Amino acid sequence: MSRIAGSRADYLLPVGHPLLRAEKIAAIVGLAGLVLSVIGLVADREQFFQSWLIAYLFWLGPTLGSMGILMLQHITGGRWGVALRRTLEAGMKTLPLMALFFLPIVVGMHFLFEWTHADVVAHDPVLQAKAFYLNEKFFLVRAVLYFAIWFVVAAALSRWSLEQDDEPSPRIDRRLHFWSRGGLILYALTMTFASVDWAMSLEPHWYSHIYGVIVIGGQILTALMFAIVVAVRLAKMPKVGEFMSAERFHDFGKLLLAFLMLWAYFALSQFLIIWSANLPEETPWYLTRREGGWQVLAVALVLLHFVAPFAILLSRHVKRTPAVLGTVVLALLFMRFVDLYWLVAPSFQGPKLSPHWLDVTTMVAIGGIWVAAFVRLLKPHPVLPLNDRYYQLAELEEGGA
């Protein structure tokens, strides 16, 4: 028998595992944050909806980003994806929860989007020209379409993956491969339009052809970071740790470094294109974000979201040491929120940074409940896909060693 072989029970979260404790704590903290956010809703409805949207867009990242990375792994293969498969699937399966959390955005549309006000549109030629797309009915139809597509893609990927656990078959591998090809295209298209609807249209006079790519890149990065944090915890399980070796974390670190550079490339490309064109319709977006305190966040993003992590992740030791890599990733996760806050919040606050306590409570509310749901979806199944061909290949190699 191979060194990493074992019973199914060896790959289920054991009683007392840190993730199981985190489920309970996250649920309590999330509910407490929700109660405080509801109090904030009563006190300041406009601020509540603004803060809720920012928090929602952040936590949508690990949900849809997980689906994106999962499909990428089904297409490209590799053992790195096997190690993250169940984590990504659990993150992806929180979609119904995120659909529920989208309802406050629907209710608060008039507090978020100026194009929902007929009197404003009537005196604005730009909004009138965009009215065929930016109107409430079409906005809701598109949102329903986005979620419907995401549900179908996620359900198929999850169903076939679990079927593989019961009865491995090359037919299932082919299904996952070809479904992921189309699903990845659908994810890119729908999230591009969703980013325009839910974020870029907050400032409807401004536009960027690369904005959707920046949002998608951020989602993938956030999902990968979250998956690595979970992997550090899962690696403490004896049998799982045999597969999630230093070599596997080295793969995670290299992938993280690649996506980090990709995110920086997207962000820099948008800045250079807009700044060099110097068009009055585009440059005000950046002008707002370089004063009133926003410039501090911009500098922090350059230094702490790219320069420092880039230099740190070049180290082989960092990438091969789970505890160190996990610490770097946790810091980067915070910077992911800073990045999203810098992208969205100035649309509400204008040229002066004005954080509000609801920014914290809404993040805690959605995040706590999301994490609790994630762990609940992860724990019924083995944390590794034991019948995946890449896992079986590793098992054979270890057995022959």
pLDDT of residue 17: 92
Q: With beta carbons less than 8 A apart as the criterion, state whether 304 and 310 touch.
A: no
pLDDT of residue 78: 80
- pLDDT band at 48, cuts 50/70/90? very high
Residue-wise pLDDT for 265-323, tens only, equals 999 999 999 999 898 889 999 999 999 999 999 999 999 999 999 999 999 999 999 99
Distance CA 165, CA 104 (A): 38
pLDDT of residue 224: 97
- Strand, helix or coil for residue 81: helix
**Residue 377 reports pLDDT greater than 90:** yes
What share of the chain has pLDDT > 90, as a percent?
83
Average pLDDT, the chain: 93
pLDDT of residue 6: 57
pLDDT of residue 399: 52
Name the residue among 371, 400, 292, 387 with its Cα closest to residue 94. Answer: 371
Q: Averaged over 56-75, what is the pLDDT?
A: 97
Q: What is the pTM of this model?
A: 0.95
For residue 121 the two structure tokens come to 């549109």
How buried is residue 147: exposed, middle or buried, by Cβ count under 10 Å (0-12/13-18/19+)?
middle
Q: Averaged over 59-85, what is the pLDDT?
A: 93
pLDDT of residue 4: 44
**Residue that is written with structure tokens 């065929």 in the block:** 132
**Tell me, what DSSP letter sits at residue 78?**
-
Residue-wise pLDDT for 192-219, tens only, equals 999 999 999 999 999 999 999 999 999 9
Distance CA 288, CA 28 (A): 38
pLDDT of residue 170: 83
Greatest alpha-carbon span in the chain: 75
Q: With beta carbons less than 8 A apart as the criterion, state whether 194 and 60 touch.
A: no
pLDDT of residue 139: 98
Distance CA 246, CA 241 (A): 9
- pLDDT band at 62, cuts 50/70/90? very high
Q: Averaged over 254-263, what is the pLDDT?
A: 96
pLDDT of residue 164: 84
- pLDDT band at 24, cuts 50/70/90? very high
**Residue 1 reports pLDDT greater than 60:** no
Name the residue among 356, 352, 201 with its Cα closest to residue 290. Answer: 352
The contacts of residue 183 (CB under 8 Å, 6+ apart) are: 67, 71, 153, 156, 157
pLDDT of residue 9: 81
Q: With beta carbons less than 8 A apart as the criterion, state whether 88 and 255 touch.
A: no
- pLDDT band at 391, cuts 50/70/90? confident
- pLDDT band at 235, cuts 50/70/90? very high
Distance CA 259, CA 192 (A): 18
**Residue that is written with structure tokens 């194009």 in the block:** 115
pLDDT of residue 2: 38
**Residue 7 reports pLDDT greater than 80:** no
Q: Averaged over 95-124, what is the pLDDT?
A: 97
Q: Averaged over 79-96, what is the pLDDT?
A: 94
Name the residue among 238, 169, 248 with its Cα closest to residue 7. Answer: 238
**Segments making up each domain of the chain, as ranges:** 8-400
What share of the chain has pLDDT > 70, as a percent?
96
